[in-house]
């Protein structure tokens, strides 16, 4: 554990930020799963779910939670998976 006051504060801030980042990443994963489950359902709901995933990924990039290439990869893989499931 740190001895200097500013270092103690940084530990607390890092913990808080880590919790926030984990929660945000979890919301992205949940949105991806929801989008994949809607493939055989309504087209309008699927489009909204995909839009939500894209929005969350872009927001994570702007907040520094995800690297931009990571977000692009997640969006690309989601689109490929949806197209593959839709063909079946």
* Nearest alpha carbon to residue 25 among 54, 57, 55: 57
Which pLDDT value is given to residue 62?
A: 97
Distance CA 74, CA 36 (A): 13
Q: How many residues does the chain have?
A: 88
Alpha-carbon distances of 23 from 3, 14, 19, 38, 81, rounded to whole Å: 29, 14, 6, 23, 24
Q: Where are the alpha helices (DSSP H) in the chain?
A: 5-37, 43-63, 68-87
pLDDT of amino acid 22 = 98
Low-confidence ranges of the chain (pLDDT < 70): 1
Using a cut of 0.85, tell me whether the model's pTM lies above it.
Answer: yes
Residue 86 is predicted with a pLDDT of 87
């Amino acid at each position: 554990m740190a001895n200097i006051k500013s270092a103690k504060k940084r530990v607390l801030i890092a913990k808080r930020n880590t919790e926030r980042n984990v929660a945000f990443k979890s919301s992205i994963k949940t949105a991806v799963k929801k989008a994949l489950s809607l493939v055989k359902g309504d087209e309008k709901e699927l489009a909204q779910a995909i839009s939500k995933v894209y929005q969350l990924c872009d927001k994570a990039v702007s907040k520094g939670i995800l690297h931009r290439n990571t977000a692009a990869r997640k969006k690309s893989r989601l689109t490929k998976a949806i197209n593959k499931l839709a063909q079946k």
